[in-house]
Amino acid sequence: MSKKYDVIVIGSGPGGYVAAIRCAQLGMKTAIIERYPTLGGTCLNVGCIPSKALLDSTEHYHAAKEKFAAHGIGLKDLTVDLERMVQRKNEVVSQTVKGVEFLMNKNKIDVHHGYGSFLGPKQIQVAREDGSTKVLETDKVIIATGSKPIVPAAFNYDKKRVITSTEALNITRVPKRMVIVGGGVIGLELGSVFARLGTEIEVVEYMDRILPTMDPDCSKELMRSLKKLGFTFHLKHAVQTVKATSRSVTVTVQPRDKEETFEIKADYCLVAIGRRPFTEGLGLDKAGVQTDEKGRIVVNDQLETNVPGIYAIGDVIRGPMLAHKAEEDGIFAAETMAGQKPHLDYNLIPGVVYTWPEVASVGKTEPQLKEAGIPYKVGKFPFRASGRARASMDTDGMVKVLAHKETDEILGVHMVGPRAADMIAEAVALMEFRASAEDAGRICHAHPTFTEAFKEAALAATDNRAIHI
């Protein structure tokens, strides 16, 4: 039996479920289709939320082990129960996905569990797990099917010893050694989880620095901190093959500038070399929707595909693969469908790495400004000069403000430090309003807070006017 909707959203990640809510708020009769039993997509089930839950747990343990004594706190018999940590993580996920279910009900959005695929531009089939199917009719569609990890065939991905983030989130015994392929966001966040528990972490990164898309100062500062945590880095190295037995893995690695290879043996090999858009089984050809050479759905500035009325958002299209970007895309698509003129600037989507210290960044990096030939000035402030950071023993890292040399407009802000993930919001807000570095430097910041480091870096960029360095 067929049911007619104004809009059907395929995929219930942060892009899809947020788009569905905004569509419903705007008066559209809305349905969402999700292939898995729980809503929330990668982010809530196997991404942002579970990884942050484990990062928080292990941060507590590490602080207790390494920092409490300096604060004058003695602890006897400190132990780790990784099974309990994973269980708590699962509870956090379960509460969070239930929250999305509640929001679907509250907004009167029909939820259809099953595999969604196009029969035509306005007809979507839902194939349920029990083998039954139904067909839904709609005026418009939002594709929000997200992404999956990239794993080359030579890595012999077996989900047991050769794993991706999805499996790493469910390891319940602390490994002795783990090889991580890729010094990007996932590798460094999940590497931190296990390094804090005592696992020896070896990162093999193809490029000459970790976090190669972020500002080089962030790569340098974070690498220094992670080495202190016990990470070993093989930069400019490529993994050739990964071979697993039931108990271990052997990873063959080659330096990019040498012939001879070497082997690393470990309990696990975590592959974290990026993600690819997921459109398998979606029947894009039946709707006539085009993809590009990377498999991303092609959209115009309105996030509409080549087929009128079919939109696409989040990880399945261009732009950073981030939950908050997917959400903004979702709101943008819903409001555009409703005839509004929303605003979305990918340059001002912040990027955060939830290591400790945290890394946060918005706008242009120094190499990007150089390449574009934009004249700029730099202001930096180290956390070791912050009273707040000394009080909490979090003196690693710095804030860096890049401003236009002539107009003083803030063009980029890059931070490595305590609570950088939260602090970057101020920089984003100021940049949305096209503030100058002097504007940021003249705003009163509470003392003592970590945020003073941003004010000081802005003052340093203005005219070398930082007060505390």
- Is 113 designated active site? no
8 binds, among ligand FAD, ligand NAD, none (CB under 5 to 8 A by kind): none
Work out the number of other CB atoms within 10 angstroms of the CB of residue 345.
11
Q: Three-state DSSP class for 317?
A: coil
Out of 239, 249, 411, 457, the residue judged to bind ligand NAD by CB under 6 A: 239
146 binds, among ligand NAD, ligand FAD, none (CB under 5 to 8 A by kind): ligand FAD
Based on the shown chain and the rule CB under 6 A, indicate whether residue 238 belongs to the binding site for ligand NAD.
yes
Q: Binding string to ligand NAD for residues 34 to 73, with x set by CB under 6 A, is what?
A: ----------------------------------------
Q: CA 431, 432, 438, 443: dihedral to nearest 10 degrees?
A: -110
Six token digits for residue 419: 């609570």
Based on the shown chain and the rule CB under 6 A, indicate whether residue 184 belongs to the binding site for ligand NAD.
yes
- What per-residue string of b and e applies to 233-265 under the rule 16 or more CB within 10 Å gives b? bbbebebeebbbeeebbbbebbeeeeeeeeebe
Q: How many CA atoms lie within 13 A of 433 on its CB side?
A: 10
Out of 53, 86, 331, 352, the residue judged to bind ligand NAD by CB under 6 A: 352
β-sheet with 249-255: strand ranges across: 237-244, 249-255, 262-266
Q: Which of residues 153-182 bind ligand NAD (CB under 6 A)?
A: 181-182
355 binds, among ligand FAD, ligand NAD, none (CB under 5 to 8 A by kind): none
Based on the shown chain and the rule CB under 6 A, indicate whether residue 356 belongs to the binding site for ligand NAD.
no
The residue with tokens 């210290």 is 357
Q: Which residues bind ligand FAD (CB under 6 A)?
A: 10-16, 33-36, 41-43, 47-48, 51, 115-117, 144-147, 165, 186, 278, 281-282, 314-315, 321-324, 326, 354
Q: Binding string to ligand NAD for residues 200 to 229, with x set by CB under 6 A, is what?
A: ----xxxx----x-----------------
- Residue of 234, 404, 414, 447 marked active site: 447
Pick from 343, 286, 342, 346: nearest CA to 310: 286
- What per-residue string of b and e applies to 149-187 under the rule 16 or more CB within 10 Å gives b? bebeeebebeeebbbbbebbbebeeebebbbbbbbbbbb
Reply yes or no: is the peptide bond before residue 216 cis, omega within 30 of 0: no
* Catalytic residue set: 447
Q: Which residues bind ligand NAD (CB under 6 A)?
A: 181-187, 189, 204-207, 212, 238-239, 272-275, 320-322, 352-354
